[in-house]
Structure 1
């Protein structure tokens, strides 16, 4: 063992120790190693920083952007809602369905890709069901890693091992050669995660403990169901073909049209908006039931029910907020009519709270006072713009629904098309995976799903720095002879052992090596060793090659074993020890399944 190898191992052990105690944070440890390795003289500065130009790093960044596009358009939410609906209140069914779906999709695309795409889906499920993200992120990463054991193209190590067979003049693995191993391992993984979830965070999501106002609550507090109305315009209505401006000038009924439902869309009315047959008007009319009925008869409109659930269902189009009038506001002492409130803010006041008293009468002539809290309604855009209107209004409270508003509504189909195209290109192999992902990002930009600012915000730079900082260890271990030393020792130890013991040793060495370097690099290093062993034993090379591929995908033991694990560290709030505690036993289970099945399906 050379002095240089001792130095590399010392740095590697130091990094693992810092990961274990989580001090400093993981990306800081990666940066420390990024600086320390070139200072040893074993690798150059350019080699240390080469990870920033690595295609896989760019691929991961692009997949963050694609995943964010699915969130912005509501695709991720729809998948999460579907899983939540099917699973109901059962956490068992939720974990079962999540792992099945992730593994099925991951069999035909990059496991890293499927993890990046499903992280926002899982976060949404967590928010909707009250289940802690920590209880779902580990099952997600586990299923994504197992998906690499399903098909030839599911993960790079499979292709590396198959390519090594071909370089030795043998037939490579066929597309579904891995499936008989992946399916039982998947069901073992589901059972294990259902058992181990008790150690993965609390049963309730921390985000759910933070309560806040919602639209339904305000409907009840301000008694909006008594003051707000929905009416449908019939063919006989004198409103058909008229503009809102002409209706207001003809007769002041006191009704304010807040929104118009036309088909499946909700539009914000302007003075020039023409009313059509079938339009459903959402109006603010604070009058007794007799006046409302008289107006419905006069204008030949039909009343429709209005409940708190309606506001929640239309929360993508209709926003609400509470605003406070400070002492410096120029609105103090004015009525809503005098202040031209709607014209100035593109919002309408539908409720007023003064002290502990809510006002639900006709508010248009109510004189506003210091400390008044106004409940306003209108487009979310206008609500967000309130902060730029000087000191006249202070945004006092917003409902929890504002977090659910889609930045790119109505573009779910283009987002899915982009995703399908990316997956298709990855599966076909027509272009490298990184180009397929970048093409998907560009298409999402062309469709208006994302912009450059949102794309940069969507990338988890902490995760990328962590991966980049650990990549130089692979070069350093090879250059100092650490890998060769391991291979020679393995050849010397397992020479006289039984077949399954030999497979177990190859699996264990590959899995342990994969704790420190990427699983692709592990496959590159171990595949030639496995084939050399097969030749020495005068045995079929296929069981040896398959055990290396399965072990390379068994990167469950540390957060740096695979980018898949690294991706879920932050959203799952995991420590280094969480992966060791959960991943090591499951790796042993996978090893046992593998050494039983491999000799049966690929005899020696």
Structure 2
């Protein structure tokens, strides 16, 4: 080992961090490759050129991979995947989508407003997890990319965290430094007036500038283009079914306004439109609907799902933990042995393990029971089954499985359990019953144990980009801290600005903390600069509360990079963002809040 002078060590770390941030912004290489390269460079440098006294060894640099923040984010991704796999938010999403048709702007404002209000009084990380699937569904309904909504969601929740003491873990960390260093403490609403003022300024910026500065990012995954052709399908009204006892209005059933009911079969009696009969248990409805419409029915309530599967004796009572539920399409092949026979005669369920939900025939309109339809070459079957059984259809010579049409369906049998686990996770974190990392990890394990998702689905929810990005961010922050780089910048900037007055000094502290919070994360920046700010307050004869609040507001300006705060990392995947997208939108927002705070400091604190 060749230990370099401490000053040289510090500047070398500055160079490594600068190169890393430059590579992240340029995006010439993948985030994963840059993150691994950064960690490797710091490990080589720390082991060869840094004295052991500085503590920049391999174990220290890799400690970020065991950090509570990383465990929290990974676990919350699994919790969110559990909500998605069970369609736990489907009914709420459908209610919001129904409102979107009539009042899209008001509905969007309401959703963002609720997210903001809730983030004022609880940790904003679970709030973002809660609203990601809601906004993803809303973006699909409005026909826009999810990137339009995900970054504003994260930023608004961060802004809300500025307003109260418990709005962000950063606020509590800084208050803890204040309590340990002085005999003072922040109350719950000490920061409310300046915090809410900055939050409102930031919110106005987001509303007007998001459409301009946030790029449209489309999903890199193939998008299933659903056919507009209609299938003939059947729904049995089972005991307790939502359709039991429904009366027709103007000849149609209002509960099924999105599908066309062509016939109601009651025993040997058939009812044709316009309908006058009140539905009752045992009725079989013959409906015409697109794949999208049938999927919506399957994802709304378990009773609809059971009513559609009851006809084919498809049992969902015994969960299959290692296989997801799939929806796919298959074409009757020319020369197929199925031609001229109906589904029951074929014994389709017994042969394949799958169920035919609907039959599509372009040649003419069919008004008969689906099970009575004799198949023809070219008919398209809408297939429902477990993943392993659907995959087995590839070997069936009588069918041509359309692989591109295969999609996973939410297992809504577990929706209630998923909601309970989700609420318990959020409540435990929000009420500080346990640390958020314990609540999140417990929620993730609960989702798996309750069958809301299997291990394969849980692993798929873990984003390797986020994992490596957080590890690299911790390594950079530790390197800057251990070599004295952060303190060097803070102290020198303040010493240079001090002769220009108190307002200029506050402006310098805010800007330095805001820049560092986007490089080494907000919690690290807050813990690093809170003692420095209190020392500055003592030397410059400034109220310590003013300097502490300056650090809090600046540390919450974590908008310019995805590594600055965990909610940015959470929305990075759903929004399909690149590293530079945060800088493009976040840097102007950060500078706006900096200028606004500096100009309003005399009003806030009577300077």
TM-score, with length taken from structure 1: 0.78
* Aligned partners of 1:115 and 1:564 also within 8 Å: yes
Residue 585 of structure 2 corresponds to which residue in structure 1? 582
Write the mapping of 1:274-285 to structure 2, written as runs, cut at 5 A. none
* Aligned partners of 1:351 and 1:359 also within 8 Å: no
- CA–CA distance in 1 between the matches of 2:217 and 2:556? 31
* Aligned partners of 1:87 and 1:97 also within 8 Å: no
Where 2:564 maps in the other structure, the secondary structure is: coil
Change (3 A) 1:400 1:114: farther
Change (3 A) 1:322 1:517: closer
* Aligned partners of 2:166 and 2:188 also within 8 Å: yes
- CA–CA distance in 2 between the matches of 1:558 and 1:157? 17
* Aligned partners of 2:163 and 2:196 also within 8 Å: yes
Residue 253 of structure 2 corresponds to which residue in structure 1? none
2:501 equivalent to 1:502: no
Instruction: Give the alignment partner of residue 315 of structure 1, picking from 281, 294, 298.
Output: 298
Where 2:445 maps in the other structure, the secondary structure is: helix
CA shift for structure 1 position 483: 1.9
Residue 189 of structure 1 corresponds to which residue in structure 2? 202
2:531 equivalent to 1:548: no
Change (3 A) 1:94 1:467: farther
Residue 119 of structure 2 corresponds to which residue in structure 1? 106
CA shift for structure 1 position 17: 1.4
Where 2:298 maps in the other structure, the secondary structure is: coil
After superposition, give the CA deviation of every residue in 1:507-554 in whole Å (9 maximum; x if it has no partner): 101111112111111111111111111111222110111010000000
2:275 equivalent to 1:292: no
Where 1:556 maps in the other structure, the secondary structure is: coil
2:36 equivalent to 1:31: yes
Change (3 A) 1:82 1:398: farther
* Aligned partners of 1:80 and 1:125 also within 8 Å: yes
Matched residues, number: 543
After superposition, give the CA deviation of every residue in 1:168-223 in whole Å (9 maximum; x if it has no partner): 23221112223323323333223212222233557797799967335xx443xx6x
Residue 161 of structure 1 corresponds to which residue in structure 2? 174
After superposition, give the CA deviation of every residue in 1:372-424 in whole Å (9 maximum; x if it has no partner): 324356xx326872331432344545998955x32243533x33332333233
2:265 equivalent to 1:259: no
Residue 372 of structure 1 corresponds to which residue in structure 2? 378
Residue 381 of structure 1 corresponds to which residue in structure 2? 385
Change (3 A) 1:304 1:332: closer
Residue 159 of structure 2 corresponds to which residue in structure 1? 146
Change (3 A) 1:543 1:331: same
CA shift for structure 1 position 64: 0.8
* Aligned partners of 1:106 and 1:147 also within 8 Å: yes
Root mean square deviation, CA, Å: 3.9
* Aligned partners of 2:414 and 2:452 also within 8 Å: no
Residue 478 of structure 2 corresponds to which residue in structure 1? 475
- CA–CA distance in 1 between the matches of 2:584 and 2:600? 26
CA shift for structure 1 position 326: 3.8
Instruction: Give the alignment partner of residue 347 of structure 1, picking from 342, 346, 355.
Output: 355
Instruction: Give the alignment partner of residue 332 of structure 2, picking from 314, 322, 325.
Output: 325
CA shift for structure 1 position 59: 0.8
Instruction: Give the alignment partner of residue 357 of structure 1, picking from 331, 355, 363.
Output: 363
Change (3 A) 1:361 1:169: closer
CA shift for structure 1 position 315: 2.9
- CA–CA distance in 2 between the matches of 1:521 and 1:312? 46
* Aligned partners of 2:558 and 2:564 also within 8 Å: yes
Where 1:554 maps in the other structure, the secondary structure is: coil
Where 1:560 maps in the other structure, the secondary structure is: helix
Residue 465 of structure 1 corresponds to which residue in structure 2? 468
Moved over 6 A (4+): 202-209, 282-287, 299-305, 361-367, 398-401
* Aligned partners of 2:537 and 2:547 also within 8 Å: yes
* Aligned partners of 1:352 and 1:358 also within 8 Å: no
5+ residue gaps, structure 2, are 1-5, 51-55, 245-259, 300-304, 310-326
- CA–CA distance in 2 between the matches of 1:471 and 1:481? 15
Change (3 A) 1:603 1:531: farther
- CA–CA distance in 2 between the matches of 1:293 and 1:76? 35
2:564 equivalent to 1:561: yes
* Aligned partners of 2:88 and 2:412 also within 8 Å: no
Residue 70 of structure 2 corresponds to which residue in structure 1? 57
After superposition, give the CA deviation of every residue in 1:116-156 in whole Å (9 maximum; x if it has no partner): 33323322221122121121112012112112202212222
CA shift for structure 1 position 113: 3.0
- CA–CA distance in 2 between the matches of 1:2 and 1:463? 32
Change (3 A) 1:82 1:183: farther
* Aligned partners of 2:264 and 2:285 also within 8 Å: no
Change (3 A) 1:534 1:419: same
CA shift for structure 1 position 436: 1.6
Change (3 A) 1:56 1:335: closer
- CA–CA distance in 2 between the matches of 1:337 and 1:264? 24
* Aligned partners of 1:351 and 1:358 also within 8 Å: no
TM-score, with length taken from structure 2: 0.78
* Aligned partners of 1:542 and 1:602 also within 8 Å: no
- CA–CA distance in 2 between the matches of 1:302 and 1:422? 41
CA shift for structure 1 position 86: 4.3
Instruction: Give the alignment partner of residue 150 of structure 2, picking from 109, 130, 137.
Output: 137
Change (3 A) 1:433 1:285: closer
Residue 594 of structure 1 corresponds to which residue in structure 2? 597
Change (3 A) 1:302 1:99: closer
* Aligned partners of 2:217 and 2:576 also within 8 Å: no
Change (3 A) 1:535 1:117: same
Residue 493 of structure 1 corresponds to which residue in structure 2? 496
5+ residue gaps, structure 1, are 229-256, 268-281
Instruction: Give the alignment partner of residue 422 of structure 2, picking from 419, 438, 450.
Output: 419
